[in-house]
Amino acid sequence: MNRNRLFVFYAFAVVMAACLLASPAHATPPIGAGKTGESKKNTASGKKRLTVQEARGRTALLHEAFHATLQIVHLQYFSEDDGTPIPSRTLEAVFDAIQPGCNMKFRWLAVDALAMNIDHAPEDAFERDAIEALKAGKDKFERVENGVYRRVGKITFASQCLKCHLPSRTSNEDRSAGLVISTPVREH
């Protein structure tokens, strides 16, 4: 098995294990379901939403699984000289594969180093607030709005990451990105 396939297998296995541990016994409705006029507990599909506390625990577990996977795979399988995809890019494929089953959305967010992809720039006020919180030293930033729990957790760059993300750095201070995880919730 080549290194890239091994990475994808490893990443997918770790994250799927985390999803199995994090998934409720029932499916949650798609993000965006449960608009005004529907029960806060159930949507028209009859599927129960997570509580904010359940969402907080599940997103924290998934954040740790993704963060550990990214760090380990970057150290053990990635070499900028052999043409393998950047681990964060491969994890985006994992995000796409598991989002429907977990009923969560995942995306990277540039915080205090160069964004390697324009899609990692903040999309709204919540993400801009999250960046400021992470820059101020917080490990996470969260908010519930319109029936969706959103969490941005800090992803600390290892030194080899900084070669690309901050090539002309003048200090050894930690730099980070963020991982945004969103999931529908019951607000009350």
pLDDT over threshold 90, residue 72 = no
pLDDT of residue 128: 96
Phi and psi at 164, nearest 5°, equal: -100, -45
pLDDT over threshold 80, residue 30 = no
Average pLDDT over residues 13-29: 53
Whole-Å CA distances, 10 to 77, 83, 129, 130, 181 = 10, 19, 33, 29, 21
Decide if 109 contacts 180 (C-beta within 8 A): yes
Reported confidence tier of residue 44, pLDDT bands at 50, 70, 90: very low
Average pLDDT over residues 164-183: 75
Average pLDDT over residues 119-140: 94
Reported confidence tier of residue 88, pLDDT bands at 50, 70, 90: confident
pLDDT over threshold 50, residue 168 = yes
CA gap 169, 60 in Å, rounded: 30
pLDDT of residue 96: 87
Reported confidence tier of residue 99, pLDDT bands at 50, 70, 90: confident
pTM, two decimal places = 0.74
pLDDT over threshold 90, residue 52 = yes
Contacts of 76 (CB under 8 A, 6+ apart): none
Average pLDDT over residues 90-109: 86
Decide if 141 contacts 133 (C-beta within 8 A): yes
